[in-house]
Structure 1
Amino acid sequence: MTAARDVIAEYEQLLLRSTQMLGLAREGDWARLVEEESAYVVAVETLKHSDANGSLDARGMTRKAEVLERILEQDVETRRRLEARREELSELIGGNRRQLNANRAYRAGSAMAVPIGQGRK
């Protein structure tokens, strides 16, 4: 049953990573969240292989289900916060584009203006 305990331990480690990711999303630490997500993906891939080779008893299956449920709950909140951040960035980019277009229009209008004293004679 050591292999089964190892698999459950890996699921619990995955839960810890999920908890860290949610904390980073709540803090708005997007750079560290991306780094943690990369490590999370690697951990998921490792767990896939471990879980395929191990067999869990009823108690292990119950614990696995509990951990997965908690991971999914955290994932929903993390994704919701990421979507909010994406919308925030989209608004900022849109504002920057409008400002850039206004600056271009102003410069184009300034270039077409005739300087005072240099009008028609």
Structure 2
Amino acid sequence: MMNSDEIISIYESVASITEQMLSAARNSDWENMAALESRCANHVRTLEKSEPRSALTSEMRERKFTIIQKILADDREIRNITEPWMAQLSSLINNTSTERKLSMTYGRNQAG
């Protein structure tokens, strides 16, 4: 079981990683962002498995709260960057799929 300092350290690592993810998103460095996302998920799993449910000191709770607020703010900004890109990618994929279906359907009719 982890102690309070170890828990806060992992939260700080998550905050650092989400900050790096935000930078990667701003630079359209999707490969790096995916790698960072994987690292972040590993830390979150560690917290889920190991974080004790006992009460933290008020100072530690405030620190944890501040860190979580930063993580959420970075996450929100990452989503603001990636969601339009993902929508555009989805539209492109759907258009390509539609074009392929049309080609298969009407291309056969033209060949015959």
Rounded to whole Å, the distance in 1 between the matches of 2:101 and 2:61 is: 58
Counting aligned pairs with the same residue, the percent is 28
Alignment of 1:50-69 (within 5 A): 50-52=50-52, 55-69=55-69
Rounded to whole Å, the distance in 2 between the matches of 1:100 and 1:32 is: 31
Structure 1: unaligned runs, 5 residues or longer: 113-121
Equivalent residue for 1:16?
A: 16
Equivalent residue for 1:47?
A: 47
Rounded to whole Å, the distance in 2 between the matches of 1:12 and 1:70 is: 10
Structure possessing the higher radius of gyration over alpha carbons? 1
Q: CA RMSD in A?
A: 2.5
Deviation, structure 1 residue 6: 2.0
Alignment of 1:1-121 (within 5 A): 3-52=3-52, 55-100=55-100, 103-104=103-104, 105=106, 108-109=109-110, 111-112=111-112
Change (3 A) 1:103 1:48: closer
TM-score by length of 1: 0.73
Deviation, structure 1 residue 78: 1.5
Change (3 A) 1:12 1:102: same
Change (3 A) 1:93 1:5: same
Deviation readout 1:72-116 (Å, 9 max, x if unpaired): 11111222323212211122123324544565536743x35xxxx
Runs of 4+ deviating beyond 3 Å: 97-108
Aligned residue identity for 1:95: N
Structure 2: unaligned runs, 5 residues or longer: none
Rounded to whole Å, the distance in 2 between the matches of 1:88 and 1:57 is: 46
The count of residues paired between Structure 1 and Structure 2 equals 110
Deviation readout 1:20-71 (Å, 9 max, x if unpaired): 1111122222222222212111101112344316652111110100000110
